[in-house]
Amino acid sequence: MKPFTPKLAPWGSPVLLGIPLDHNSSFLRGAGQAPPLIREAFRSDAWNKTTETHVDLGPPGIFEDAGDLPTMESPDAFARIEDAIARIVEAGKRPVSLGGDHSITYPILRAIGKRIPAITLVHFDAHPDLYADYEGNPHSHASPFSRIMEEQLVHRLIQIGVRTLNAHQHEQADKYGAKIYEIKDLPDPTHLNLAGPIYVSFDMDALDPAFAPGVSHWEPGGLTTREAIGYLHALPGPIIGADLVEFNPSRDSTGLTATVVAKILKELLGKMLAG
């Protein structure tokens, strides 16, 4: 099949935004170094610009890149993230954020959820990230989905690939009506019964560390890269935004994980542009 260049969807072009925030990480730091390395792998001449869904990402204007937000270690980082995402959404475009730790998803969805109703949040992760707070930090990277659900920023929360569900987070999931598909009970992607608008939050430790070792929290037994791409391809449209988080370059000595993040980004952009 010949690759095609899509006309921009009614939701507007995707806009890449690097958010190198890392101060809400637990255990290991390093995810703040990720955005430029994701871009480097994404733009590599080792592969072409056509996705598996036959979308050519090469032509200028297909998507935009807004660069990286500066000084993310400051106390006002969340407010500046929310403001930057709000400007993208109010311009009729779709933010695709490159993290950074998973705490960034909360301010991102504060911006989007106030402007787009009835969002289904599809979250790929080894962890539910539903702690009421973690180690005394309500904005920990282990807590963003509690904040999102407390503020009713989305209509539904669907979590895929979880394999660390403890009693507290199970209670939190029940409290907020989250639907968790643990790794041992993964459904066929076509059986998720999802409806748009959809926001995708993809934590790289959703993948088995054999496929993505460059993460802070290794949790064996995860998704394969092929399974993850299959889920992304099966999502209905429109996808109105996304984030890719928790890639830690300090644990990626071969560059493998950067390439896998870039592959996920590539297929996600293709899916957004295809419909």
Residue 244 pLDDT = 98
pLDDT in tens, 13-31: 999 999 999 987 777 888 9
Strand order in the sheet with 198-203: 64-68, 14-19, 94-99, 239-245, 198-203, 120-124, 156-162, 179-182
Query: Tokens 């959820």 label which residue?
Result: 113
Residue 2 pLDDT = 58
| Overall pTM surpassing 0.85 (yes/no) | yes
Q: Domain coordinates of the chain in residue numbers?
A: 14-274
Asked if the model's pLDDT at residue 69 lies above 80, the reply is yes
Q: Label residue 35 by pLDDT band (50, 70, 90).
A: very high
- The DSSP-derived string for 75-90 is TTHHHHHHHHHHHHHH
Does domain 14-274 match CATH 3.40.800.10? yes
Report residue 169: phi and psi, to 5°. Answer: -70, -30
Q: Label residue 122 by pLDDT band (50, 70, 90).
A: very high
Q: Label residue 229 by pLDDT band (50, 70, 90).
A: very high
Asked if the model's pLDDT at residue 242 lies above 90, the reply is yes
What is the maximal distance between C-alpha atoms in the chain? 53
**Cα separation, 86 vs 107, whole angstroms:** 10
Q: Considering the chain, what is the average pLDDT of its residues?
A: 92
